[in-house]
Structure 1
């Protein structure tokens, strides 16, 4: 998906706040949760999200969606990751 279409979809879905997040290469974040729903478009790099026993890889153009308060961990690829995320 391209950035313009993604941003339009976020607005239609009620995601009023958007931010660009960048994470360093080959780092990770242990299990945590957010008090907001998040929907993000990968702009650069690679991100792996683990929910329970299932890990999913996301690359440029992919979209991930996490409900509020969903425990998950994150792992960032060899070039790190940059993504545009909507929060509500």
Structure 2
């Protein structure tokens, strides 16, 4: 997905303006939650997200969605990750 289509989708789904987030290479965040719903488009690098026993790798052009309060872990790729994210709730 490209940025324009992604931001259009966020607007239609009621997300406020998206922000660009960059995370350092090879960093892991243990299981945690966020008090908001998040939908993000990967624009550089990659991220692995684990929810329960399921882990998925997201690369450039992929979109991930996490409901509010969803317990998950994150692992940033060897070049880090940058993503455009909308948050609501």
Which 10-residue stretch deviates more, 54-63 or 16-25?
16-25
- Structure 2 counterpart of 1:3: 3
What aligned pairs does 1:52-63 form with structure 2 within 5 A after superposition? 52-63=52-63
The unaligned stretches of length 5 or more in structure 1 are none
Runs (4 or more) in structure 1 with deviation over 6 Å come to none
Deviation of 1:17 after TM superposition, in Å, equals 3.6
Length, aligned pairs only: 88
- Structure 1 counterpart of 2:85: 85
CA distance in 1, matches of 2:30, 2:4: 31
The unaligned stretches of length 5 or more in structure 2 are none
- Aligned to 1:10, what secondary structure does the other structure show? helix
Tell me the TM-score normalised to structure 2 length. 0.97
Tell me the TM-score normalised to structure 1 length. 0.98
- Structure 1 counterpart of 2:45: 45
Deviation of 1:18 after TM superposition, in Å, equals 1.6
- Structure 1 counterpart of 2:14: 14
